[in-house]
Structure 1
Amino acid sequence: MTKYIEIFSADHDEVIDSYVAMGKTSYKVALEKLYPLINRFEAQRKLQDKKFYKRLQRDLVEGCIMPPITIAFIDKAGGDLSDKEIFEKFANENIDQGYILDGMQRLNTLKSASEDENFDENRIAYVNVIVADNQDKLLYRMITLNNGQKPMTPRHQIEILTSEMFDFTELKNISVQTEKERSTKTIRGAFNLGDISRGYLAFLTGNVNNENNKIINEKMDEILVTRVLDSRNSNSSLKFEEIIDLVDALSADSACKTWFKVNNNLIGFCVGIKTSYDDLVEVEAKDFAAAIELFEEGFDAINASKVNLGKYRRQLSCEFIKNFSELSGMDDDDLVEYFIEFTS
């Protein structure tokens, strides 16, 4: 096994239930093995504050020590990596499957600096390495690492992670396309990746109302970060990929698929399901189709001229899914009354 990274210490992060290590590599390895990982993020940040990074480029050539790069891995097997030798073996064997969680700009700058004839590729580059068993935990850490950097907003971070770290190719009943893919060839009935990422944001924040034009973007970003961090206090072990798998299974019925393609329904579902997943995972697609037909009958009773229908659809779909066992068993009149009381 080639030793690209040397690990100094490894420990378990109790907050994100993941393994974290500190180590080192060389500028040469950073350029050959870590720099290409930037390309795994199609929507990577463009280089910001060129004046600052031009200064860093000169400093790197002159021999400054670059702040650590943070590399992340997904280990779905969830192995014990608390021993530094085992951690080191894992990191080196899987280095090509890593993600750069923090340090894209520094790697870009290192690449530019390497073109200088005085650049020393043998200098040490320090690294932090995180290994989590699912993407949600990495997203939490990514937001805390990048919070405050501009223009990498929480929404942008979530869009990146949704695009690059979830595999939608194994889904049986739904397909997912980016806007770029749609412009080339549209798959009929495909979900928009942006809609999926908004569902992911709702899941992470535990809130259906994450877009508000009345609040300036910077303040809304602060609110979103706070919601994501606070949501980590939840004891739920549910992962977003499990929600996507459930949406896919229920979409075997075309009526369910059509319902999920209304983004406000999907957003409400992604929050409500955190409470009722154990119940809904046992529901057949045809039975869920009957339940959402009941939901629509109740929703149609709302006076559209009096309310913000998009907001109400998010809130009521969330409430319906959250209390699915109870509400799906009501008749339409009782559900209408419930919705009226809930929204009053």
Structure 2
Amino acid sequence: MKILDVQKDGVIDGTVAFGRATYNEAIKSLVPLIDKTEFQRKLQDKKFYSKLERDIVEGCVMPPITVAFVTENVLDNAVDIERFVNENVKKSFVLDGIQRLNTLHRASEEFEFDEDYNIYINFILCNSIEKLLYRMITLNNGQRPMTPRHQVEIMIANAFDFHELGLNVVAEKDANISAARKAFKKADIIQAYLAFMADSPVVDNKKIIEEKMDELLVGKIMAVEPTKYKSSFKSFVKILAVVQNDQDALKWLKVTNNLVGFAAGAKHSIDEIVGMDAEEFGRCIGEFDSAFADFNPSRIKVGKYRRELVYEYFKNFKEYRHMDSNELLEKFSELTIND
């Protein structure tokens, strides 16, 4: 694969290299990325891309695909990037163009075509998963099959080794087995990631149709400058790995509303929270729950209040962490008096 030009992306503080590969090179090096994990975006029905398949055989030039690398290496020239890309392509993943690559692969198996024809590739090199997710959403927004949740699934699957980070995450289908009792549901981690990225605990609402909710969610994520916060979701996961060692804390965190509110709030206070051990975290959420228990459940929407107040608590953790339940209740009462 050849690199033709290099450009700095000032929004995500990364590097974009514009390259090309022959169809043959793409089939060997990039098509395997499609099946990299079980969470990868599901391939669309063949009929949707049959026209592109025929066009490939007839010699069309496909729109560029986008391939991403998460790396701390600072590379800014074509020679070094070309070497890096070819040596590390197995560690990359496809941000945009999975369907085109799959169609190319299918065409290679079913028809004869010029394998030396070129496919063009945008390689994004960036040191932050969150910045790549921001870029992924800008690439895929408007393509209905690719919802924000699908995009986060891909990002989580390719960029996080939860076992290595000390967290056990299981798919919904495995959630009832004995080993999953101490694990987090993948669906909840996805919700937490969306809340972290959107800077909001409101990432789901069953009263709003899914398509509109996705549109609102994309709007929230797009409104957050990707370089605004120093925190990363990886740092948040590491915190989860520590505080889950308290049994009461683990039970608390496995409640979706708590986890989502915590993720959105922790983004603002990561430096304050990162030094906590499991015992201290357990004490803090104990005070929170004691205060929350004094709200009249018949007069509030319990889930909504819990999610939003957990967000408020951890967003301003430096202010709240040493308060007892009565002091917290007074604060929460002031915040919700007009609700």
Q: 1:303 to 1:185 in 2, by over 3 A?
A: closer
* Residue 251 (structure 2) pairs with residue 224 (structure 1): no
Task: Give runs of aligned pairs for residues 99-248 of structure 1, distance below 5 A.
Answer: 99-172=93-166, 174-182=167-175, 186-232=179-225, 235-248=228-241
Kindly tell me the number of residue pairs found equivalent between the two proteins.
Answer: 337
Q: Is the 8 A contact 2:197 2:221 kept in 1?
A: yes
Task: Give runs of aligned pairs for residues 321-332 of structure 1, distance below 5 A.
Answer: 321-332=314-325
**Matched position secondary structure for 2:116:** coil
Q: How far apart in 2 are the matches of 1:292 and 1:244?
A: 18
Q: Which amino acid aligns with 1:200?
A: Y
Identity %: 45
**Which of 5, 11, 18 does residue 14 from structure 2 map onto?**
18
* Residue 57 (structure 2) pairs with residue 61 (structure 1): yes
* Residue 77 (structure 2) pairs with residue 90 (structure 1): no
Q: How far apart in 2 are the matches of 1:184 and 1:31?
A: 39
**Matched position secondary structure for 2:260:** helix
Q: 1:47 to 1:323 in 2, by over 3 A?
A: closer
**Matched position secondary structure for 1:115:** helix
Q: How far apart in 1 are the matches of 2:88 and 2:114?
A: 26
**Which of 242, 262, 276 does residue 269 from structure 1 map onto?**
262
Q: Is the 8 A contact 1:61 1:116 kept in 2?
A: no
Following TM superposition, by how much is the alpha carbon of 1:319 offset from its aligned partner in structure 2, in angstroms? 1.0
**Which of 290, 312, 315 does residue 297 from structure 1 map onto?**
290
Q: How far apart in 2 are the matches of 1:292 and 1:51?
A: 52
Following TM superposition, by how much is the alpha carbon of 1:184 offset from its aligned partner in structure 2, in angstroms? 7.3
**Matched position secondary structure for 1:298:** helix
Q: 1:59 to 1:234 in 2, by over 3 A?
A: closer
1:179-222: CA deviation from partner (whole Å, max 9, x where unpaired): 24447774331111111110000000001011122222222111
Q: Is the 8 A contact 2:12 2:227 kept in 1?
A: no
Q: Is the 8 A contact 1:18 1:133 kept in 2?
A: yes
Q: How far apart in 2 are the matches of 1:177 and 1:47?
A: 23
Match of 2:36 in 1: 40
Q: How far apart in 2 are the matches of 1:272 and 1:232?
A: 16
- What's the C-alpha RMSD, in Å, of the aligned pairs? 1.7
Q: How far apart in 2 are the matches of 1:277 and 1:183?
A: 32
Scaled by the length of structure 2, what TM-score is found? Answer: 0.94
Unpaired stretches in structure 1, ≥5 consecutive residues: none
Q: How far apart in 2 are the matches of 1:117 and 1:102?
A: 24
Match of 1:318 in 2: 311
Q: Is the 8 A contact 2:2 2:20 kept in 1?
A: yes
Q: 1:35 to 1:183 in 2, by over 3 A?
A: farther
1:244-264: CA deviation from partner (whole Å, max 9, x where unpaired): 101111222222222211111
Q: Is the 8 A contact 1:316 1:339 kept in 2?
A: yes
Q: How far apart in 1 are the matches of 2:330 and 2:316?
A: 15
Q: How far apart in 1 are the matches of 2:42 and 2:133?
A: 20
